[in-house]
Amino acid sequence: MKPLLKIENISKKYPNSKKYALFNFDLDIFPSEIIAIVGKSGSGKSTFLRCVNGLTEASNGNIYFKQRNTKSMSSKEYRKYRTNIGFIFQNYNLQDRISVLDNVLTGLLGQRNPLMTTFGLWSKQDKEKAKSILFEMGLSQHVQKRADQLSGGEKQRVSIARALIQDPKIILADEPVASLDPPTAKKILDDLKTKCKKRKIAVVINLHDIEMALKYSDRIIGLRNGEKVWDSPSSEATKESFKQIYQKT
Amino acid sequence: MNNKKILLSLFVFVLIGLITNEYLPETNKKGQEIFTKILSGENGLFNPDLSIYQNVAKGLLESFQIALIGTVFAGFFSLMLGILAAENTSPKPISGFIKFTLNAIRTIPEILLAIIFIVGVGPGAFAGVLALGFHSTGTLSKLTAEVTESINKGPIEAVLAVGGSQISVFRYSALPQIMPEFVSILLYRLEINIRAASVLGMVGAGGIGKTLFFALMARNWSHVGTILIGIIIVVTLVDYISGKIRSKLI
């Protein structure tokens, strides 16, 4: 099987920093697999996810989406590429002052005519789709509320809905539950997993909680100081492997 | 110093003034007489002539219109200029140039602008609108630029991450963050402009200032009193209403 996304030797060095935040990182992502990336803070987990969809520009390396190098894409093609990737942020990054429904619709901004969306004109199908995803996420009663009136858990559900409406091939989730209490975190990860498996979406999720990583992923990757130190199916990850990932340097 | 202390010291000063009154030189005594007459004389400030209310109301309405149109005019330009002047939404050379120009505009007082525009377009309300609009564009754009520079980057990344264009980023992420604060500073500017508009008439730029100027020239203090009451009512009313709206926006 060919990978959906092939990441080849990407490295990232931030300006004014001597060390690489991410160094020669390789990863093949296959459809509907859930990959957990674990590691201490500052190990390069977020940098990696941000490099994948270009929120941060990688210093070297290549990313191939359906065998096409993203570096050779025009800016229009790159925006098209981004529509295939949902991104879930740790602090949700919703548009606070607009409604929950409109927030979900923003997930389609890369796929609809900018002139229409600038005037807030969305088709009936789009609105219905947004509502049905909100229903699926258990947010039916909040559709017309302003996003800043929701609790943290509800906000993260809206941001998952925003990613799902894109019909993405891959979802990148950067510490999606780090700001939430454990029971809410568990419910959200349960939902994320079932919804993505159902739609055959691949998920790459950054987690610092080992138990959660083991429970929700098919494959675990360990990062230490920007380098990959572990890569195995979750079933093969042992205490020893985590010691190796988290060991002091 | 707190209010009580200020009041107390004022009281002491007045007391000293009253006691030493007997020993004042003749000229100062005359000045005091005139001052008393201006304030509380038959034709004084505190005996306003309410019969001219129609004239005053007309002038006040014109001042209000000058302020409103000037502010709307400034709002339109400053939203664009402010965003162009913000370092996070505009290339550095452009932002620097606009900021410099805005600073230059802001240093010219409204009254001077009014005189310049009166020479340009003739005396009347339009000169007042231009003076207020021009000056307010300077201040409002700077504030808008500051608001724009302080917006949260996260929601912008969210729109970029789904493949949204720059227009979408502006419409769905930047604008919703800028708008409430922008409207709030716009309303605040309207309050300031209403005060400014009542003075502009004195140099011939229309509004209540013209009526005020003639009353002052004729030493008609009871008319001046009526006009001042009118200005106080309008300014207080606008402050109150815009304050209510602003507290809801933020």
The answer to whether residue A247 scores a pLDDT higher than 90 is no
The answer to whether residue B9 scores a pLDDT higher than 70 is yes
Dist CA A209 CA A87 (whole Å): 20
The answer to whether residue B234 scores a pLDDT higher than 60 is yes
**Average per-residue pLDDT for chain B:** 88
The answer to whether residue B106 scores a pLDDT higher than 80 is yes
- Reference A193, options A164, A223, A150; nearest CA is A164
Residue of B nearest to A56 (CA): B157
Mean pLDDT of A218-228: 92
pLDDT at position B27, please?
65
pLDDT at position A149, please?
93
pLDDT at position A158, please?
96
Confidence of residue B21 (pLDDT cuts 50, 70, 90): low
Dist CA A204 CA A31 (whole Å): 11
Instruction: Tell me the per-residue pLDDT of A104-120, one tens digit each, with 9 for 90 and over.
Output: 999 999 999 989 999 99
Specify the domain boundaries for CATH 3.40.50.300 within chain A: 1-84+168-249
Confidence of residue A83 (pLDDT cuts 50, 70, 90): very high
The answer to whether residue B17 scores a pLDDT higher than 80 is no
H-helix or E-strand spanning residue B75: helix B53-85
Mean pLDDT of B76-91: 90
Which two three-digit tokens encode residue B248?
């809801």
- Residue type at position A230: W
Instruction: Tell me the per-residue pLDDT of A200-222, one tens digit each, with 9 for 90 and over.
Output: 999 999 998 888 899 999 999 99
- Contact at CB, B157 and A107, closer than 8 angstroms: no
Confidence of residue A249 (pLDDT cuts 50, 70, 90): low
pLDDT at position B159, please?
95
Query: Model pTM greater than 0.90?
Result: no
- Residue type at position A106: T
pLDDT at position A108, please?
96
Q: How many CB pairs below 8 A link A and B?
A: 79
Which of A83, A95, A112 to mutate to probe the B interface, most B CBs <10 Å? Answer: A95
- Reference A97, options B163, B248, B84; nearest CA is B248
Confidence of residue B178 (pLDDT cuts 50, 70, 90): very high
Is the minimum CB–CB distance between B249 and chain A shorter than 8 Å?
no
Mean pLDDT of B37-59: 85
Which two three-digit tokens encode residue A242?
């985590």
- What is the Cα A41 distance to its own chain's centre? 17
pLDDT at position A248, please?
60
Share of chain B above pLDDT 70, in %: 95
Mean pLDDT of A164-193: 94
* Domain residue ranges of chain B, discontinuous segments joined by +: 63-206
pLDDT at position B22, please?
62
Q: Which residues of B touch A111 (CB under 8 A)?
A: 163
Looking at CATH, the fold of the domain delimited by A1-84+168-249 is given as: Rossmann fold (3.40.50)
- Contact at CB, B161 and A85, closer than 8 angstroms: yes
Q: Return the higher-pLDDT residue of B18 and A89.
A: A89
Mean pLDDT of A88-96: 94
- Contact at CB, A162 and B167, closer than 8 angstroms: no
The answer to whether residue A169 scores a pLDDT higher than 70 is yes
pLDDT at position B20, please?
67
Strands A60-65 and A68-69 turn out to be antiparallel
Q: Which residue has the tokens 């005189």?
A: B115
Residues in chain A: 249
Q: Return the higher-pLDDT residue of B11 and A4.
A: A4
Instruction: Tell me the per-residue pLDDT of A13-61, one tens digit each, with 9 for 90 and over.
Output: 999 888 999 999 999 999 999 999 998 888 899 999 999 999 999 999 9
Q: Residue B39 in contact with residue B45, Cβ under 8 Å?
A: yes
Mean pLDDT of B146-152: 93
Is the minimum CB–CB distance between B180 and chain A shorter than 8 Å?
yes
Dist CA A211 CA A189 (whole Å): 12
Beta strands across the sheet bearing A60-65: A22-29, A5-12, A60-65, A68-69
Measured in angstroms, the CA of B153 and the nearest CA of chain A are apart by 9
pLDDT at position B26, please?
65
- Contact at CB, A97 and B162, closer than 8 angstroms: no
Confidence of residue B99 (pLDDT cuts 50, 70, 90): very high
pLDDT at position B24, please?
62
Q: Using beta carbons and an 8 Å cutoff, which residues of A are at the interface with B? A: 53, 55, 79-83, 85-87, 89, 91, 93-98, 102, 106-111, 114, 117-118, 159, 162, 166
Confidence of residue B60 (pLDDT cuts 50, 70, 90): very high
ipTM of the complex: 0.92
Strands A170-174 and A85-88 turn out to be parallel
Q: Return the higher-pLDDT residue of A239 and A34.
A: A34
The answer to whether residue B72 scores a pLDDT higher than 80 is yes
pLDDT at position B7, please?
81
pLDDT at position A191, please?
93
Contacts of B58 (CB under 8 A, 6+ apart): none
Dist CA A164 CA A155 (whole Å): 14
The DSSP result for B88-150, as a single string, is: TTS-HHHHHHHHHHHHHHHHS-HHHHHHHHHHHH-SSHHHHHHHHHHHHHHHHHHHHHHHHHT
Question: In this structure, which CATH number among 1.10.3720.10, 1.20.810.10, 1.10.1060.10, 3.30.360.10 belongs to the domain B63-206?
Answer: 1.10.3720.10
The answer to whether residue B15 scores a pLDDT higher than 80 is no
- Closest to A114 (Cβ–Cβ): which among B154, B158, B168? B168
User: Where would I find the beta strands (DSSP E) of A13-48?
Assistant: 22-29, 34-38
